[in-house]
Structure 1
Amino acid sequence: MLDADGSETSPLIHVRTRPHGSLSWPAARDAARKTGAEGGSPTAEVPLPAALGAVLGADLVSAIDVPALDTAAMDGYAVAGKGPWSVLGRSLAGRGAPVARLRRGEAVEIATGAVVPDGTLAVLPYEEAEAAGTVVHGACAPGRHIRRRGETVPAGALAARRGAPVTPALLGLAAGLGLDTLPVTRPVVRVLITGDEIVHSGRPRPGAVRDAIGPVLPGLVAWAGGRCEEPRALPDGRAPLVSALAALPGDHVAAVGGSSSAGPADHLRAALAALGARIVVDGVACRPGHPQLLAVLPSGAVVVGLPGNPGAALAAALTLLVPVLCGRTGRRDPAHGGRRARLSAMTDPHPIDTRLLPVRVHGDLAVETESHGPADLRGAAAADALAVLPPTTRGTAADGTVELVAVPT
Structure 2
Amino acid sequence: MKSWFDAFAIAREVAAPLPGQTIPVAEAGGQVLASPIICVRPVPAFDNAAMDGFATCGPGPWTVTGLLLAGGFTALPSLSPGEAIEIATGAPVPVGTTAVLPYEDATVAGRRVSGVLGERTHVRRAGETLAAGALVSPAGRIVTATLAGATVQAGVDVVTTVRPPTVTLLVTGDEVISDGVPGPGQVRDTFTGLVTALTLRAGGVLRERRHQKDDPVSLAAALDDTDAEVVVVSGSSSAGAADHLHTVLTDRGATWHVRGVACRPGHPQALAELPGGRWVVSLPGNPFAGLIAGLTLLEPLLETMAGRPCHPLPTAAVTGSTTLMRGGVRIVPVVHSPQGTRIAADRGSAGLHAVALADALAVLPDDWTPGTPARLLAIP
TMscore range, shorter length: 0.7 to 0.9
Aligned residue among 309, 312, 337 for 2:289? 312
Cα distance, 1:344–1:147 mapped onto 2, change above 3 Å: farther
1:407 is the counterpart of 2:379: yes
Distance 2:306 2:325 in 1: 34
Q: 144, 152, 158: which one pairs with 2:129?
A: 152
1:200 alignment counterpart? 178
Counterparts of 1:97 and 1:135 in 2: how far apart (Å)?
25
Distance 1:33 1:98 in 2: 57
For 2:353 and 2:263, locate their aligned partners in 1 and report how far apart those are by CA, in whole Å: 19
The answer to whether residue 241 in structure 2 is matched with residue 261 in structure 1 is: no
CA distance in 2, matches of 1:346, 1:172: 48
- CA distance in 2 between counterparts of 1:390 and 1:119 reads 71
Contact 2:335 2:359 (C-alpha < 8 Å) held by counterparts: yes
Pair 1:225 & 2:197 matched: no
The Cα of 1:42 is off from its aligned counterpart by 6.1
1:167 aligns with 2:139: no
RMSD: 2.9
Matched, 1:35 2:3: no
Which residue type is aligned with residue 405 of structure 1? Answer: L
Q: Is the 8 A contact 2:166 2:204 kept in 1?
A: yes
Q: Which amino acid aligns with 2:276?
A: S
Please give the alpha-carbon distance, in whole angstroms, between the structure 2 residues aligned to 1:71 and 1:127. Answer: 19
Instruction: Determine if contact 1:187/1:227 at 8 Å carries over to the other structure.
Output: yes
Counterpart code for 2:225: A
State whether residues 64 and 155 of structure 1, in contact with CA within 8 Å, keep that contact through their aligned partners in structure 2: yes
* Equivalent residue in structure 2 for 1:280, among 218, 235, 257: 257
Listed as ranges, the gaps of 5+ residues in structure 1 are 1-21
TM-aligned CA distance change 1:151 to 1:379, over 3 Å = farther
Residue 359 of structure 1 corresponds to which residue in structure 2? 334
Alpha-carbon offset, residue 180 of structure 1: 5.0
Aligned partners of 2:272, 2:178: CA distance in 1, in Å? 26
Name the CA distance, whole Å, in 2 between partners of 1:283 and 1:41.
30
Q: Which residue of 2 aligns with 1:13?
A: none
2:53 and 2:338 mapped to 1: Cα distance? 42
Note closer, same or farther for the CA distance 1:364–1:32 as it changes in structure 2 (3 Å cut). Answer: farther
1:257–1:109 distance in 2 versus 1, CA, 3 Å: same
Is contact 1:36–1:302 with CA below 8 Å preserved after alignment? no
Report SS of the residue matched to 1:112: coil
Q: What amino acid is the match of 1:33? A: R
Q: Distance in 2 between matches of 1:118 and 1:355?
A: 71
- 3-state DSSP class of the match of 1:271? helix
Q: Taking structure 1 as reference, are residues 109 and 374 closer, same or farther at Cα in structure 2, changes over 3 Å only?
A: same
Measured after TM superposition, the shift of residue 328 of structure 1 is: 0.8
Amino acid of the structure 2 residue aligned with 1:25: W
1:10-57 deviation line (CA, Å, top 9, x unaligned): xxxxxxxxxxxx2222322221122232x6256252571x44344445
The answer to whether the 8 Å contact 1:41/1:186 transfers is no
Identity %: 43
Partner of 1:122: 99
Spell out the pairing of 1:10-29 with structure 2 (5 A cutoff). 22-29=1-8
Secondary structure at 1:318's aligned position in 2? helix
The answer to whether the 8 Å contact 2:167/2:231 transfers is yes
Cα gap change, 1:373/1:113 in structure 2, threshold over 3 Å: closer, same or farther? same
> For the residues of structure 1 that align with 2:377 and 2:233, how far apart are their CA atoms?
22
Q: Which runs of 5+ in 2 are unaligned?
A: none
Distance 2:107 2:338 in 1: 48
Q: Structure 2 matches for 1:101-116, cutoff 5 A?
A: 101-116=78-93
Cα separation, partners in 2 of 1:253 and 1:86, compared to 1, 3 Å: same
Partners of 1:121 and 1:341 lie apart in 2 by 57
Provide the C-alpha distance between the structure 2 equivalents of 1:338 and 1:60, rounded to a whole number of angstroms.
29
- Distance in 1 (CA, whole Å) between partners of 2:89 and 2:46 is 13
Deviations 1:88-109 (A, max 9, x none): 3222112338864444444332
Question: In the superposition, relative to structure 1, how do residues 404 and 137 fare at CA in structure 2: closer, same or farther (>3 Å)?
Answer: same
Task: Classify the secondary structure of the residue corresponding to 1:214.
Answer: helix
1:377 aligns to what? Answer: 352
SS in 2 for 1:203: coil
Query: 1:304 offset after TM fit, Å?
Result: 0.8
**Mapped contact 1:57–1:329 kept (Cα < 8 A):** no
Structure 2 counterpart of 1:187:
165
Amino acid at match of 2:66: G
1:386 aligns with 2:365: no
